[in-house]
Structure 1
Amino acid sequence: MAKDIKLDESILKKNKIPVLIKDKEWKTLFSDILTRNMKKLVNKLEKLLEEERECKIKLKEYKKQKKAYMDLILKLSDEANSKNNERALMQLEEAKNKILEINDFIDEIQFRLETLPKEIDKTNFELLKETVIISYDYIREGRERLEYLNEEIQRIRKLLGNMWEEKFTKEKKINNLYLYLHGTLGHEEIDRLDRKYL
């Protein structure tokens, strides 16, 4: 096995290697030869990508909520200032608290969205290393098998060539013997002997 293969992590960016599980060619080539470790890494990548997708959706939702509360604050500020409205002041305070709460959620999500790409890259790199190891093992074993198959094909070709030669020799001898007997004994006697012996 090619376990000692070393790769530089910068190769991901340098060669613009995509997230492998999103790559159609990778899926086609490796879906039927995944090792247990590769399957774990694929699952981990799927979870990280799903988390990233969910974080982006949540972030959008929270930003939308924040905007709604900001609009509400503007409306309530006008009411509280113009009419000295006690109820509007309470609602204004609640809206401000809600924005602070949403800001905390937004900060958490944005922090997670900053850390996720590194985790995704790290996991993708681990999967790439496994992919290279499996590829070289498969190529090495495949070449050994091809060598064996080529030798077998050559052996069978030679055997087939010998068999063809024997076939032509036998056919020629049979035809010559039959022609000799036909010429010597004649048509009627050969028909009688054919019925009896062939």
Structure 2
Amino acid sequence: MKKEVDESKRESFVRALEGKKIPILTLDNKWYQLLDSESRARVQELETQLNALLKRQGKLNNEVKDIKKLKKRLMDEIVSSMGEEEQNDDGENGQKAEQNKRLVEECNEKLENCQDELLDLPREIERSNFQLMLATMDCCYGIMAENEDAIQEMAQWVAEVRVELKKKLVRKQEMERHNHAIYSYMHDVFGAEVVDIFDMHHNLEQE
């Protein structure tokens, strides 16, 4: 369980973020690398909300393009039919023109609705992104605090192991010198044939 951020620390986060241009977090690959699985679960709801707003914005932008394209085609048909009506008094052409005018009005209404919503969405996205950034900072603070505790424990362990390692290295060298002294003495006194019985001379001679 990550350490919780107290209220004063959270207020510090808010002040630090005020006026900052925050990138859209869910569009930034580096953001996904910051959080572990536990933290991702904590911010999942905010992440989902932000992505839904971005998806809605993209959908509306596409709808605006499609409506404008349809409106242009309808307007072209209306202009074209006006010339045909002057040459041919055909009621069908008139009905088609009226239908196109009605569709153009529908396009204008839909465009107005889409554009009104598109005006509000950037602010909603910014607010949602800000809340996600706050939650991310909460998580990162917890991760770093937890890591710092582990780092201190590991540093203590390394220091203790280093001391123990030095002791063992000294002891190892003392034992090697003692063995070498015994071997040399026995070799001088009894000769190589007797020393071979101990089956240690090869290792000692290589030291």
Over 3 Å counting, the alpha-carbon distance change for 1:9 and 1:160 in structure 2 is closer
Residue 61 of structure 1 pairs with residue 70 of structure 2: no
Structure 1 residue 16 displacement after superposition? 2.3
2: CA distance, partners of 1:163 / 1:29: 41
| Contact 1:3/1:133 (<8 A) preserved | no
1:194 to 180, 195, 198: 198
1: CA distance, partners of 2:48 / 2:36: 13
Residue identity in the other structure for 1:194:
F
Structure 1 residue 3 displacement after superposition? 4.9
Over 3 Å counting, the alpha-carbon distance change for 1:62 and 1:82 in structure 2 is same
Residue 94 of structure 1 pairs with residue 118 of structure 2: no
Give deviations 1:49-94, integer Å, cap 9, x for gaps. 1111111111100001111111111122233345443322222211
Structure 1 residue 46 displacement after superposition? 1.9
Structure 2 unmatched ranges of 5 or more: 200-207
| Contact 2:26/2:47 (<8 A) preserved | yes
Structure 1 residue 9 displacement after superposition? 8.1
1:115 to 108, 111, 120: 120
| Contact 2:14/2:134 (<8 A) preserved | no
1:15 is paired with a residue of what secondary structure? coil
* Identity %, equivalent residues: 24
TM-score, normalised to structure 2, is 0.84
Over 3 Å counting, the alpha-carbon distance change for 1:85 and 1:190 in structure 2 is closer
1:144 is paired with a residue of what secondary structure? helix
1:24 aligns with 29
2:39 is paired with a residue of what secondary structure? coil
Structure 1 unmatched ranges of 5 or more: none
Total equivalences in the alignment: 193
What is the alpha-carbon root mean square deviation over aligned residues? 2.1
1: CA distance, partners of 2:164 / 2:107: 81
1: CA distance, partners of 2:148 / 2:96: 75
2:202 aligns with none
Give deviations 1:143-179, integer Å, cap 9, x for gaps. 1111110110000000000000000001111111221
1:2 aligns with 5
2: CA distance, partners of 1:138 / 1:112: 38
